Amino acid sequence: MALKCGIVGLPNVGKSTLFNCLSNAKAQSANFPFCTIEPNVGVITVPDERLNKLAELVHPEKIVPTTVEIVDIAGLVKGASKGEGLGNKFLANIRETDAIIHVLRCFDDPNVVHVDGSVDPVRDKEIIDTELQIKDLETVDSRIAKVQKQAQTGGDKQAKQIYEVLVKYKEALEQGKNARTVTFETKDDQKIGRELFLLTNKPVLYVCNVDEASAVTGNAFVGKVQDTVQSEQAEILVVAAKIESEIAELETYEEREMFLSEIGLKESGVNRLIKAAYRLLDLETFLTAGPQEVRAWTYRKGSKAPQCAGVIHTDFEKGFIRAEVIKYDDYIGYGSEAAVKEAGKMNVEGKEYVVQDGDIMHFRFNV
């Protein structure tokens, strides 16, 4: 499941610093490497401590974590929707992503010039929002022009439904609101909305880039951002990119843990960001464990056993018979698959079983 998050932000907000931290393998534990597949694209593993604990019991040949692709999208400027700066290329890059990581500058530093002359993360957010909203409004207006006549004069029920969804989006966008603030009650309307692929409908994670003193508690800038995004289905993460770059330079896991402890953080901002991006996409992980590998597999939250079997191989889903499921805590508690079976803690589940995060799965199939 190839998942892609785009990092966006105005110039000089710390966006590239954050991306460079993500691109350094030392920023995460040794088992979670990073590889660059293009100058501005990285495949980053999702930190999952459960893999290491399972590996201690199973002793596999390798550990395979799950991944998220991060794209460093060039800094946006006013007028991008009209072609300023990278313009349409920037917007096309965002359209290709599943979610947006929006970096906002929430620190004062006279040595780092702000493109608009002063630090104001709410204004910065609105600049990018406006450019994306203008592009979305173009998309909506274009679609309305195609379906309006059918919806208003013909007996085409589907055209009428699409038109009503489009009008709702148009009203919100014209009020300066993002498409993600619009809610629909029926699944059909929600599906129509998703299929429009609007830029401001993508899930978003706002990363407030703060100074070292605000890394744990946040600051007034962060508070303003929190107040502004209350109506959106969005998550906020406080990260000090400068500290993250220092952590990335440390050689050992122990040094990084000591550094984090000294400043009052339990986990690096980079790890928190990757995990938050994973949650943002409504994803969970099931695990497989055997002598060849201990592996994490990505699936959409709420998926049933056959769908998750298909994540491994399409044949597994086509010929699904049953799933043998061990809860992670049971596996760790009993120490082995054999001990779990002996204790009667392994469940046999059918096609209607909804897979839970951390389930250790073994699929039986026949094709």
Task: Give CA–CA dist 33/278, Å, rounded.
Answer: 17
Q: 162: alpha, beta or left, given left = phi > 0 and alpha = psi -120 to 50? A: alpha
**Sequence letter at residue 117:** G
Confidence of residue 24 (pLDDT cuts 50, 70, 90): low
Q: Which residue has the tokens 């744990």?
A: 216
> Taking 70 as the threshold, does the pLDDT of residue 81 lie above it?
no
> Taking 50 as the threshold, does the pLDDT of residue 161 lie above it?
yes
Task: Give CA–CA dist 99/309, Å, rounded.
Answer: 25
Lowest-pLDDT range, 20-34, 44-58, 278-292? 20-34
> Taking 50 as the threshold, does the pLDDT of residue 29 lie above it?
no
35-45 pLDDT per residue, tens: 444 447 778 88
> Taking 70 as the threshold, does the pLDDT of residue 13 lie above it?
yes
Mean pLDDT of 200-217: 90
Closest CA to 4 of 100, 90, 114: 100
Residue 46 — φ and ψ, nearest 5°?
A: -85, 115
Average pLDDT of every residue of the chain: 85
Task: Give CA–CA dist 191/195, Å, rounded.
Answer: 6
User: Would you state the pLDDT for residue 77?
Assistant: 54
User: Would you state the pLDDT for residue 226?
Assistant: 92
Which pairing describes strands 347-349 and 320-326: parallel, antiparallel, or unpaired? Answer: antiparallel
CA 11 remoteness from chain centre? 22
Which pairing describes strands 283-289 and 234-239: parallel, antiparallel, or unpaired? Answer: unpaired
**Sequence letter at residue 298:** T
User: Would you state the pLDDT for residue 255?
Assistant: 87
Partner residues linked to 35 by β-bridges: 43
User: Would you state the pLDDT for residue 37?
Assistant: 46
Task: Give CA–CA dist 274/178, Å, rounded.
Answer: 24
Task: Give CA–CA dist 144/312, Å, rounded.
Answer: 40
Lowest-pLDDT range, 86-95, 168-177, 233-242, 333-342? 86-95
The answer to whether 298 touches 285, Cβ cutoff 8 Å, is yes
User: Would you state the pLDDT for residue 75?
Assistant: 55
Q: Which residue has the higher pLDDT, 88 or 197?
A: 197
Q: Which residue has the tokens 């906002």?
A: 104
> Taking 70 as the threshold, does the pLDDT of residue 194 lie above it?
yes
Confidence of residue 274 (pLDDT cuts 50, 70, 90): confident
Residue-level length of the chain: 367
Please, where are the H alpha helices in 154-240? Answer: 157-174, 187-194, 220-228
User: Would you state the pLDDT for residue 87?
Assistant: 46
**Sequence letter at residue 172:** A
Cβ neighbours of residue 31 closer than 8 Å, sequence gap 6 or more: 51, 52, 63, 65
Confidence of residue 30 (pLDDT cuts 50, 70, 90): very low
Mean pLDDT of 320-329: 97
Burial track 261-286 (b if 16+ CB lie within 10 A, e otherwise): eeeebeebbbbbbbbbbbebbebbbb
Confidence of residue 27 (pLDDT cuts 50, 70, 90): very low
Closest CA to 134 of 207, 82, 97: 82
Closest CA to 101 of 275, 247, 218: 275
> Taking 60 as the threshold, does the pLDDT of residue 285 lie above it?
yes
Sheet hosting strand 41-45, strand order edge to edge: 34-38, 41-45, 67-72, 4-8, 99-105, 204-209, 234-239
> Taking 70 as the threshold, does the pLDDT of residue 345 lie above it?
yes
Lowest-pLDDT range, 25-34, 108-117, 330-339? 25-34
**Percent of the chain residues past pLDDT 70, beyond the cut:** 87
Q: Which residue has the higher pLDDT, 360 or 131?
A: 360
Task: Give CA–CA dist 329/332, Å, rounded.
Answer: 5
Mean pLDDT of 52-72: 90
